[in-house]
Amino acid sequence: MRLPLAQISPPSPPYPGTCILLLMRKNSDRLFRMTSPEPVPSSSLDRRDFIKTSSLAAGALAFGVPALLRGQNLNSKLNIASIGAMGGKGRGDTDACARAGENIVALCDVDSGSENYAKQTEKYPNAKFYKDFRQMLDQMGNQIDAVTVSTPDHLHAIVASAAMRMRKAVYCQKPLTQTIYEARYLRKLAKDKKVVTQMGNQGSAATGLRRAVETIQDGLIGQVHQVHVWTNRPVWPQGMDRPQGEDPIPATLDWDKWIGPAPMRPYKGRREPDDQYGVYIPFNWRGWQDFGTGALGDMACHTVNLPFRALNLDYPTEIEATPLSKMNKESYPVGSKIRYEFPQRKASISVADPHRFHHHRTIEQDAVTLWWYDGGQPDPSAPDGHDFSNKPPIELTADIVALRGDIPNSGSLLIGDAGSVFSPDDYGTSFFVKLKDDPKYIHYTKHPALAQFAERIPRNPNGKDNNLSHTMEWLTAVKENTPELCYSRFEIASRLTEIMLLGCVALRAGRTIEWDGPKMVAKNCPEAAPFIKRENRPGWALS
């Protein structure tokens, strides 16, 4: 039977292409294992095995049909617990699971006094509310199939690892972790526990991003030697020292649990009574080194996603970071320019053949320099503390200005021997192409050169709402118990997160880093070690 390319099960980026024969064999193996299941914790047997058995039954009826299609026809609903449920992303992640038809059975947040708390608990009246995710997992573990993690960055790995140890599927917001050690830890844990995972960089679901990845890999613009990625972040305070004094902790807030693995510090509320956000809560934590990862953490897992996948980026060998304002031990600067050097690489990518199963070929990619730009020059009179001027050199962006009339606030530019690809948004969902003989950039859907490149990366079939479709891809994989269906699973997302975090490490270390990726060591900079692996506060170890 011939299957359309859009129906073939998703690949394993950044090396796209999954052999459907192996997926079929894997499903067949699972059928045999039903009579002798792998031992799992008793707390998760009933729910997880029920969903999995329903999935296998559907697979048996449609054996040989891709798992993604079978998953869409399953009637079983997943029980979802949302952690960090009251923040902006927490609400979005919870609501996406509910829109997909799943059950929201638990909501967890350290603050029960916000307007969001009232709205979400009213929206999900049957969900139990907790302030401590550990208590929630202990009490409801056998009723939960999967969790969403939408806490501040410093808690991501603590929460995710606890759920994964209980073999719960995890959808974790970007950046996946706050430290490189944690990223490796979650990658290994996901593999060992065989749990279904997804990081919340929802641009991964977009057809435009996947089209860019496959065409660049297939030689659309030749060998790429330069990448430039920029963002308007930070749009929160940075470059400041810790405020003096202490404010009363609101009765509805569990400050100790919010601090989590970070060193304890006094609570501070709003600097001024009319401030929209407080010093730390609910949004400005991003700029503090103990809790966030600055502009890199907020946006690099989005804007670097396209070049990361297209160029099969792995460990950089050198990272140089230049802050545009003072760099202290408390917060990130209001702007930074970071250079990453990546060596030559080989990658295995899929070859689309309409008459046979996927095959693979090896491609070789040259060394590449990636430049990251965030914020701008300090401007105390500006609402965000900088002038938004930090962007690639004008000689590289003149054609972008000719296309749009300006340089967008966020974007990415890949410069190859045969032309350039420019993506004008935060997520890489669309792109423009300018080959050597082109007078201007042309949208990828209209450029005639793209007709020669086959669509070999499966598309997400869940609609154009990338946040919802990215979530639904994860939910389908949970029901199928097939981690490989997730395009941003931790195996892949952890590597993208590591690249981003190395910029934070270089900023905090204050010097160029020579990176030994396999050994996870800054060879020339032992003082970087505390930023690679954090010393957690007692009682907050990784699970």
Residue type, 342: F
Spatial strand order of the sheet with 103-108 comes to 128-130, 103-108, 79-83, 146-149, 169-173, 197-200
Residue 523 falls inside a structural domain: no
User: Distance between CA atoms of 431 and 502, rounded to whole angstroms?
Assistant: 27
56 and 180 part of one domain: yes
Confidence of residue 272 (pLDDT cuts 50, 70, 90): confident
Instruction: Identify whether the C-beta of residue 494 lies closer than 8 Å to the C-beta of residue 187.
Output: yes
241 and 182 part of one domain: no
Instruction: Identify whether the C-beta of residue 335 lies closer than 8 Å to the C-beta of residue 376.
Output: yes
Residue 518 falls inside a structural domain: no
Q: Which of 181, 361, 334, 341 is nearest to 261 (CA)?
A: 181
Residue type, 473: E
Model confidence pLDDT, tens digit, residues 433-462 = 999 999 999 999 999 999 999 999 999 999
Residue 517 falls inside a structural domain: no
Residue 254 falls inside a structural domain: yes
> What's the CATH code of the domain at 218?
3.30.360.10
User: Distance between CA atoms of 480 and 76, rounded to whole angstroms?
Assistant: 11
Residue 520 falls inside a structural domain: no
Confidence of residue 326 (pLDDT cuts 50, 70, 90): confident
Find residue 411's DSSP bridge partners. 230
* The total number of residues written for the chain in this structure: 543
DSSP 17: -
213 and 148 part of one domain: no
347 and 388 part of one domain: yes
243 and 275 part of one domain: yes
Domain limit, last residue, from 452, 475, 498? 452
Instruction: Identify whether the C-beta of residue 168 lies closer than 8 Å to the C-beta of residue 184.
Output: no
167 and 273 part of one domain: no
Residue 165 falls inside a structural domain: yes
- How far is C-alpha 100 from the geometric centre of its chain's CA atoms? 20
DSSP 345: E
User: Distance between CA atoms of 190 and 176, rounded to whole angstroms?
Assistant: 13
Confidence of residue 126 (pLDDT cuts 50, 70, 90): very high
Model confidence pLDDT, tens digit, residues 203-219 = 999 999 999 999 999 99
User: Distance between CA atoms of 28 and 203, rounded to whole angstroms?
Assistant: 32
Supply the mean pLDDT for the chain.
Answer: 87
Instruction: Looking at 296-445, list the stretches that DSSP marks H as alpha helix, in order from N- to C-terminal side.
Output: 301-303, 305-310, 394-404
Print the domain residue range for 216. Answer: 207-452
228 and 196 part of one domain: no
* Geometric angle at alpha carbon 339, from 336 and 345, rounded to 5°: 150
Model confidence pLDDT, tens digit, residues 221-233 = 999 999 999 999 9
Count of domains observed in the chain: 2
Residue 497 falls inside a structural domain: no
Q: Using CB atoms within 10 A of its CB, is residue 515 exposed (0-12), middle (13-18) or buried (19+)?
A: buried
Q: Taking the CB of residue 21, how many other CB atoms lie within 10 A of it? A: 11
Check whether 59 has a pLDDT greater than 90: no
Check whether 12 has a pLDDT greater than 90: no
Question: What is the pLDDT, as a whole number, of residue 274?
Answer: 67
153 and 231 part of one domain: no
195 and 211 part of one domain: no
